[in-house]
Structure 1
Amino acid sequence: MKIALWLSLFIVFYAFFGYGILLFFLIKIRRAVKGKRVPPAEDFASLPTCTLIVAAYNEQDFIVEKIKNTLALNYPAGKVQYVFVTDGSSDSTPELVAAYAEIKLMHKEGRSGKIAAVHRAMDEVTTEVVVFTDANTFLNADALIKICRHYADPKIGAVAGEKRVHADETADATAGEGFYWKYESKLKTWDAELHTVVGAAGELFSIRTDLYRPVPVNTILDDFMISLLVADEGYRVVYEPEAYATENGSESVGEELKRKIRIAAGGIQSIVWLKSLLNPFKQPVLTFQYVSHRVLRWTVVPFLMILALIINIVIVVSGYDSILYDVLLAAQIAFYGASLLGWILESKQIKVKILFIPYYFCMMNYAVIRGIFRYSAGKQSAVWEKAKRK
């Protein structure tokens, strides 16, 4: 039981923190041997032609602001095109997009899901590079330049931008979302420097057009799948933190939970479908990164957290004479107690920021369990259902 307890705690710690620590030292070693990876210079003349695709479903509250943000992006004239796909939208989103001659509107009645809309748009793309971004996120002015400069290297197949979550002073426990993405950004930076990013976020990412592989229309995490299929073909997926998409945090913890459950279900689906990435003999570094950064979190970690608590209780109750296990149990109870208190206070609209992180961490792992069971039961639809944002 003691072995099971320490092994469980080790895997949980490794998945969220240990891997980051290990990455830090691996990067130091790589820099000492090969030097630091540096992004290429911004040579406007050599930037590839680019198409920006936005899939928008009933986004009338945000779409005009998104259009203005898009048209204000810096990129050489004549090298960029904008495509907005509004399939199935029943509000005024298509009409609002149609008012801008600079943007190509693609619209049809009937909702088939985000990835079906993206596939339809990709059939029209003729540029060397395609950039995907969400309708309710806003990019920094140089985002396209910062992303597309990387394609000067033929080994680069995709580029992931940074997701930033804006949390104001009235933010509730979803402020933990912002902290989480800051930590994820650092891990992705190190992942890219070691070898490759393992999965891009749909808020902002790009691929070489000729590397685009249509994923099944029932794919839940299309952005993750598309970018990892590029990595599976031997190309690097790099991370560009100077190209970022900003969005508000979820409207409530309930909305964030809904989003996390969907991501967890999609994570299990991706693991099942991308079996080749688990083969360490094909691309050992990619497999190491993929398992360490993604697979452990989306499979065993939440269950090992529960197992560690139960085993620790049994050891202490059985009278094992060691203060170490008493302290360990007290630490676990304190952590979960802080999470529970955060949940109670959030339900009463009381803001205690120190409780945001344990509450968000536990909510995130609870969502993984829910997502696993939802996917196993075949109840997770691939039709994009966005979380309400502030």
Structure 2
Amino acid sequence: MIITFWITFALIVYTFVGYGALLFLLVRLRRMLRGKRPLPLIENLPSCTLVIAAYNEELFIREKIANTLELDYESGKLESLFITDGSSDNTPDIISEYPQIRLMHRTERLGKVAAMHRAFDTLSSEIVIFTDANTILNKQALVNIARHYSDKTIGAVAGEKRIRVEESADAGTAGEGFYWKYESALKKWDSELNTVVGAAGELFSVRRELYKPVPDDTILDDFMISMLIAQQKYRIVYEPESYALEYASHNIKEELKRKIRIAAGGIQSIMRLLPLLNIFKYGLLSFQYISHRVLRWTIVPFLLIILVILNIQLVVERIHPIYWSLLFGQVLFYAAAVAGMALENRQMRIKVFFIPYYFCVMNYAVIRGIGRYLSNRQSAVWEKAIRKSGNN
């Protein structure tokens, strides 16, 4: 029982803290031995298509179109394509007012993946950049992404997701903002060491020739598409100077809904990417993939529960005083999470409780998501979370 306890404890700490610390040290070591990876020059940019899938976004779509038309890129090398399959509001009509933009619309709602595949068959550009309809990109986003493709070993480029966090932020907003800041640091180090482990759909790009269609029922299409490129032994790099800015979820309930869907997509992706678990074949990529994604999306949320149970047993058996300290620490942490939930319900903002509360919500969502995937209750069709702006 003692051995099981410490293995469980070590896996949890490694997943949430240890991997980041190890990654930081490995990047430092790589810089000492090889120097920092050079930034690519902005010259001879490849032809590019910006693809935006929009579903019932009439309240936000004009802002998105204005942002799209303001983006810098070499004249004659950029096409903007909006896909509005299934939209039942005025989104397609609004987009059709802009002759600079190509619109693909179909009344059937078959899901984002089916829409992307339909659009992809019409493209001829060297690279394809995907972004969400409810995000705003910085003016140099496309240029900063496209410049990386001068390196033939790079198959995909991931931009940074940024969350708008206000002073009055609730647990959902503040927690999501903190989570993505930490994720961005991990992605930056992953990229410098070897490759990013999956891209976020808010802003990512691929070499068109390397794109592999994924099944239409794929939940995390962005993650799957980028990892299939990594599986072909191409690097995915992270470009924090290209970012997509969006509002956080409207509240913690909306964030939970979104996280459950992501968790269901995570376990689905793991089942479909089983070869990537072979560290003898994929080496460093497998190590990063298991450390950064697989542990979080599979066993660790359950290990958190097991750790408490084992800790109580060791305290009852009076094995060693250290277990009293560890149990007290766990109780204090979860008490802070409960306090965060209680304060959130009363709309009281005490940020010190937000992180433990969000941490528990995130891991609870993984357990729910795995259950939803195993019971085949998670649809791949767009399921929009309500965001702070109230537009989507």
TM-score range, shorter chain: over 0.9
Listed as ranges, the gaps of 5+ residues in structure 2 are none
Residue 319 of structure 1: CA displacement? 2.8
Which position in structure 1 is the counterpart of 2:100?
Answer: 102
For 2:350 and 2:123, the matched residues in 1 are separated by 48
Deviation string for 1:87-133 (max 9, x for gaps)? 00000000010000100010011100011111111111110000000
For 1:282 and 1:154, the matched residues in 2 are separated by 22
What SS is found at the alignment partner of 2:170?
A: coil
State yes or no: 1:217 paired with 2:216: yes
Counterparts of residues 36-185 of structure 1 (less than 5 Å): 36-43=36-43, 46-174=44-172, 175-185=174-184
For 1:18 and 1:378, the matched residues in 2 are separated by 33
State yes or no: 1:8 paired with 2:2: no
Residue 283 of structure 1: CA displacement? 1.4
Residue 166 of structure 1: CA displacement? 0.5
For 2:23 and 2:168, the matched residues in 1 are separated by 35
What SS is found at the alignment partner of 1:94?
A: helix
For 1:38 and 1:145, the matched residues in 2 are separated by 16
Which position in structure 1 is the counterpart of 2:21?
Answer: 21
Which position in structure 2 is the counterpart of 1:389?
Answer: 387
Counterparts of residues 314-325 of structure 1 (less than 5 Å): 314-320=313-319, 322-325=320-323
What SS is found at the alignment partner of 1:282?
A: helix
What SS is found at the alignment partner of 1:130?
A: strand
Aligned amino acid, residue 71 of structure 1: L
For 1:240 and 1:39, the matched residues in 2 are separated by 10
For 1:9 and 1:260, the matched residues in 2 are separated by 24
Which position in structure 2 is the counterpart of 1:31?
Answer: 31
For 2:346 and 2:309, the matched residues in 1 are separated by 30
Residue 6 of structure 1: CA displacement? 1.3
Residue 3 of structure 1: CA displacement? 1.3
Deviation string for 1:191-247 (max 9, x for gaps)? 001100010000000000111111000000000000000000010000000000000
Residue 317 of structure 1: CA displacement? 1.9
Aligned amino acid, residue 131 of structure 1: I
Which position in structure 2 is the counterpart of 1:377?
Answer: 375
The number of aligned residues is 387
For 1:3 and 1:60, the matched residues in 2 are separated by 57
For 1:319 and 1:201, the matched residues in 2 are separated by 47
For 1:336 and 1:215, the matched residues in 2 are separated by 39
Counterparts of residues 235-250 of structure 1 (less than 5 Å): 235-250=234-249
Residue 318 of structure 1: CA displacement? 2.4
Runs of 4 or more off by more than 2 Å in structure 1?
A: none
Name the % identity: 60
For 1:257 and 1:100, the matched residues in 2 are separated by 36
Which position in structure 2 is the counterpart of 1:267?
Answer: 266
Which position in structure 2 is the counterpart of 1:309?
Answer: 308
Q: TM-score scaled by structure 1?
A: 0.98
Which position in structure 2 is the counterpart of 1:189?
Answer: 188
State yes or no: 1:333 paired with 2:331: yes
What SS is found at the alignment partner of 2:279?
A: coil
For 2:117 and 2:311, the matched residues in 1 are separated by 50
For 1:332 and 1:12, the matched residues in 2 are separated by 13
For 1:10 and 1:38, the matched residues in 2 are separated by 35
For 1:293 and 1:287, the matched residues in 2 are separated by 10
Which position in structure 1 is the counterpart of 2:350?
Answer: 352
Which position in structure 1 is the counterpart of 2:340?
Answer: 342
For 1:63 and 1:169, the matched residues in 2 are separated by 27
Residue 363 of structure 1: CA displacement? 0.4
State yes or no: 1:281 paired with 2:280: yes
What SS is found at the alignment partner of 1:242?
A: strand
Listed as ranges, the gaps of 5+ residues in structure 1 are none
Aligned amino acid, residue 34 of structure 1: R
Which position in structure 2 is the counterpart of 1:203?
Answer: 202
Aligned amino acid, residue 176 of structure 2: E
Residue 38 of structure 1: CA displacement? 2.0
Residue 263 of structure 1: CA displacement? 0.5
What SS is found at the alignment partner of 2:378?
A: coil
Aligned amino acid, residue 274 of structure 1: L
For 2:219 and 2:235, the matched residues in 1 are separated by 23
For 1:373 and 1:189, the matched residues in 2 are separated by 32
For 2:384 and 2:328, the matched residues in 1 are separated by 39
Aligned amino acid, residue 129 of structure 2: V
For 2:252 and 2:354, the matched residues in 1 are separated by 11
